[in-house]
Chain A
């Protein structure tokens, strides 16, 4: 009945949605933020720890949400590891573009490989009310980077 939705719910999304990676509280985190999607009431906590060179050593999250938002957060925690804050933000910008339009012409070669890991989520662009589910994790990441103390982000 829903075969044409396999584009949106690709196997990797269902998999990350069911078994999100890095789904835990990060004890040695220096940065934390809370994300909130008022539309569905989903919430997530994101923690970051850094290497001495300033790159992200570890990212982990906890929360509840739909398959899309869980998968997006899970994939994000995997892809931002080793990135500098600037790189992570650039990826977030690219991802938002991807989620809203289905592609990201601005994503330059340096990001390409990492962005590819995120492309399974590009199907949301056809579902305007679901775009926020996909971008919530990345909004929360931005907030954690800008304000380590833990301000609330919303995916508006």
Chain B
């Protein structure tokens, strides 16, 4: 359909991510597109509002590199390891500068994306009761059911990122993307966005996607650019393609704690490299022990109805 949207990461980021944008690089543990975050750092974007349920190490790197002025999130940490120290320094000591934060619970963040994707002015959830969260986030408002029960709920406003970047195992040149394994809120974040970049492990023929339409998570009509970038999620993972590099997450604790080490890491692994290809070359054989065994889904028959 139409002209191809296939682009190099550098061009996709240069063309679609602008200073001051609200950017969501989503993916819950799975399919977090580190390569896109690194390219944004490399291109020295500034004043971004970064949105993510779980900022994870990628936002610690981006915020440590100074691309953001604000963070919208629901869980701030290095999963299973500890803290995001670059983020904490900015929140706790305004070091090197303050970071504005806007926080929700996981369900609140998910529903903000659902509202954004659905063009709804608000989304009701049963949460936040007797919690201090609404007291520090006026965007979370109480509302009563108009029906007999009069149940009280809280509502959250839509979140509409200027740009959402999601990674998928495979996508077509038009951006039809298929994902298996954890889905997070990739679909909702993509539909909610003004502009969408889909990064994929494999660029595939339309026929591959049309073989199994129920596996399509994001349709090309909401996608502006498609970047084929294998291993773009390291140290996050892509189900069936490579494992999570838990060692990296564990090592990050030390790097993140020390501003000098963080700066050195950014220089060595981002600024001094041209692209993710260089990053992978530098990683060397690290992927060898991250390769999973095979575990196939089996296939189903859609039937030929002519």
> Is B one of A's binding partners?
no
- Which residues in A have some Cβ–Cβ distance to B below 8 Å? none
- Which residues in B have some Cβ–Cβ distance to A below 8 Å? none
